[in-house]
Structure 1
Amino acid sequence: MPIPAPNLYPAFNIVRLSHVELMVTDLAASRAFYVDTLGLQVTDEDDQVIYLRAMEERGHHCMILRKGGTPEVNSLSYKLYSEDDLDKARDWFAAKGLPVEWVTRPYQGRTLRTTDLFGSPMEFYFKMDRLQPIHQKYALYHGVKPLRIDHFNCFSPDVDESVAFYNEMGFRVTEYTEDEESGNLWAAWMHRKGGIHDIAFTNGRGPRLHHTAFWVPTPLNIIDLLDLMSTTGYLSNIERGPGRHGISNAFFLYILDPDGHRIEIYCSDYQTVDPDLEPIKWDLTDPQRQTLWGAPAPKSWFEHGSAFAGVDSRDSKMKAQPIIAP
């Protein structure tokens, strides 16, 4: 199926992805992982929730860890350009028959909660409390030295439909994988902020969150994290990598938090701000699409994901298979 033409004038304007809210079963264990090991900064916490930000971020949080009985995802959130865009977004989702409600969120202004076409929970806001910069407070840098949240990746039961829906919201495709036999999309990378992606879609049982990614300064930071994790009790949490993707050209590492939520550590992709930038096409059978060096991903990478709270997932429409490590 052809990639849709970029929609440069959507009904409302999204700046970028903003933050994710994860339900975790052991708040202390999650704090040890995200704060003490990865190096995210605590901006507020109590015995039920922890708010985190990365080193370059001025907004109050990029991740919320909330204590709960089941590991799942409460929402994926996005920042809009203006207050007016909130009302435009509300009208756009309502016109599609999707649920819309105004919700109250700490440290944020007016917030719209809705879903995408498959039920993935989405929240939109314009104002978030701003904090003092810490990017030059180098005494705070530790762990993998995370600079900012970079993207979400979600399992979709129909990547073609997901791409069409998010294209209407102004997300532009940068790279994609197509199954030559069916002509359907296996995966696609879509952005708003001028990188490779704010969100990507991977074929699979969904909707589910595949991973949340954080940008770090250099590949050496990833090596440092591997040394740290392998000697502090987190060896089994290392799932895939390090390596360099063919798609995006980014250096990567995939790890699992104590509840199994997947995190990617990510750097070195490229700029995509030109509105007429042509998407790069990859074949599903190309071994370099997953890893430029040819190493295939493990089976868990194609099957394991985090459920969205209260959302039923369904099998994908595609039966094609990528290359999987033995």
Structure 2
Amino acid sequence: MAIPAPNLTPPFNIVRLSHTELRVTDLAWSRGYYVDTLGLQVTYEDSETIYMRAMEERGHHCVILKKADVGSVGVLGFKVWSDEDLDKAEAWFKSRDLPTCWIERPFMGRVLSTRDPFGVPLEFYNQMERLEPIHQKYNLYRGVKPLRIDHFNLFSSNVDDSVKFYGDLGFRVTEYTEDAITGRTWAAWMHRKGGVHDIAFTNGTGPRLHHMAFWVPTPLNIIDLLDLMSTTGYLENVERGPGRHGISNAFFLYIRDKDGHRTEIYCSDYQTIDPDHEPIKWNLTDPQRQTLWGAPAPKSWFELGSVFEGADLVDSELKSQPIIAP
């Protein structure tokens, strides 16, 4: 299927991705992983939750860790341009017969809760508590030195349908993978903020969160993290990389926490601000689409993901697969 033309006048104005809530079974272990090892900064914590931000972020949080019996994902959050956009969003989701309600969230103003047609829990807001800048407090930098949350990647049982829905919301496709046999889209990368993506979709049983990603200063920070993880008890949490993607041209590393939540450490992609930026098409069988250097991804990368709270899983009808490492 052809990639739809971008919607440059969406029904409401989404600025960027903002935050996610991860349900974790061992809050102390997760703190050691995300805070002490990766280097996210704690902005609030109690016996049930930990709120964190990265070094360049002024908003109160980009990740919430919430203690739970089973690991899952509570929500994906997006910031909108104005308070008026929240009301426009409510009307738009209602017009699509999708659930909407206003909820209370700590450290945030009005929050609209909804789900996309595939069951992914979403929330939109305009105001989040602002914190003092810490990007020049170099004594706080540790781990991989995460600067900001960069994107979400989701497993989707129908990537073409996901692209159409999020395209209607103003997300624009930067790169995509086409299955040459069926002509269907196998994966797609879509943005609002002017990078390669705020959200991406990969063919598979969904909806599930494939990964969240953090932007870091340089590839050398990823090497430093690998040295740290390999000597502090986290070697088994390294899943894939380091490497450079063909898609996005980004330098990457994938790691997974105790509950299976996957994080990509990410840098060096490119700017996509121009409204007439043409999407780049990749063939599913091109070995350089996954890794520019040709190394295929492991089987776990195509099969394992985090379930969304309250979302029913659907198997993909598209069974084509790229090259998978033995």
**Interval of TM-score (by shorter of Structure 1 and Structure 2):** over 0.9
Q: Match for residue 54 of structure 1?
A: 54
Pairwise mapping of residues 236-247 of structure 1 onto structure 2 (< 5 A)?
A: 236-247=236-247
Q: Match for residue 29 of structure 1?
A: 29
- Aligned letter for 2:310? G
Q: Secondary structure at the match of 1:21?
A: strand
Cα displacement string for residues 118-166 of structure 1 (whole angstroms, at most 9, x for unaligned residues): 0100000000000000000000000000000000000000000000000
- Aligned letter for 1:111? V
CA shift for structure 1 position 259: 1.2
Q: Match for residue 262 of structure 1?
A: 262
Q: Match for residue 18 of structure 1?
A: 18
> Aligned equivalents of 2:309 and 2:115: distance in 1?
12
Q: Match for residue 158 of structure 1?
A: 158
CA shift for structure 1 position 189: 0.1
> Aligned equivalents of 1:112 and 1:163: distance in 2?
22
Q: Is 1:146 aligned to 2:138, yes or no?
A: no
CA shift for structure 1 position 321: 1.1
Contact 2:119 2:310 in 1 (8 A): no
Detail structure 1 runs of 4+ shifted over 6 Å in the superposition: none
- Aligned letter for 1:72? S
CA shift for structure 1 position 317: 1.6
Q: Match for residue 136 of structure 2?
A: 136
Q: Match for residue 250 of structure 1?
A: 250
Identity rate, percent? 74
Pairwise mapping of residues 181-260 of structure 1 onto structure 2 (< 5 A)?
A: 181-260=181-260
> Aligned equivalents of 1:276 and 1:106: distance in 2?
39
Q: Match for residue 287 of structure 1?
A: 287
Q: Is 1:173 aligned to 2:173, yes or no?
A: yes
Q: Is 1:319 aligned to 2:325, yes or no?
A: no
> Aligned equivalents of 1:75 and 1:205: distance in 2?
18
CA shift for structure 1 position 117: 1.3
> Aligned equivalents of 2:144 and 2:81: distance in 1?
30
How many corresponding residue pairs? 326
* TM-score w.r.t. length of structure 2: 1.00
CA shift for structure 1 position 75: 0.2
> Aligned equivalents of 2:117 and 2:221: distance in 1?
37
Q: Match for residue 64 of structure 1?
A: 64
- Aligned letter for 1:296? P
Contact 2:16 2:192 in 1 (8 A): yes
CA shift for structure 1 position 54: 0.2
> Aligned equivalents of 1:46 and 1:107: distance in 2?
14
Q: Secondary structure at the match of 2:162?
A: helix
> Aligned equivalents of 1:40 and 1:258: distance in 2?
17
> Aligned equivalents of 2:211 and 2:320: distance in 1?
22
> Aligned equivalents of 1:211 and 1:44: distance in 2?
23
Q: Match for residue 80 of structure 2?
A: 80
Q: Match for residue 299 of structure 1?
A: 299
Q: Secondary structure at the match of 1:263?
A: strand
CA shift for structure 1 position 41: 0.1
Q: Secondary structure at the match of 2:301?
A: helix
Q: Mind listing any 5+ residue stretches in structure 2 that lack a counterpart?
A: none
Q: Match for residue 107 of structure 1?
A: 107
- Aligned letter for 1:276? D
> Aligned equivalents of 1:116 and 1:217: distance in 2?
33
Q: Secondary structure at the match of 2:112?
A: strand
Q: State the Cα RMSD in Å.
A: 0.4
CA shift for structure 1 position 229: 0.2
> Aligned equivalents of 1:316 and 1:77: distance in 2?
25
Cα displacement string for residues 209-250 of structure 1 (whole angstroms, at most 9, x for unaligned residues): 000000000000000000000000000000000000000000
> Aligned equivalents of 2:60 and 2:172: distance in 1?
27
- Aligned letter for 2:196? I
Q: Mind listing any 5+ residue stretches in structure 1 that lack a counterpart?
A: none
CA shift for structure 1 position 312: 1.1
> Aligned equivalents of 2:317 and 2:195: distance in 1?
29
Q: Match for residue 96 of structure 2?
A: 96
> Aligned equivalents of 1:137 and 1:206: distance in 2?
40
Q: Secondary structure at the match of 1:196?
A: coil
* TM-score w.r.t. length of structure 1: 1.00
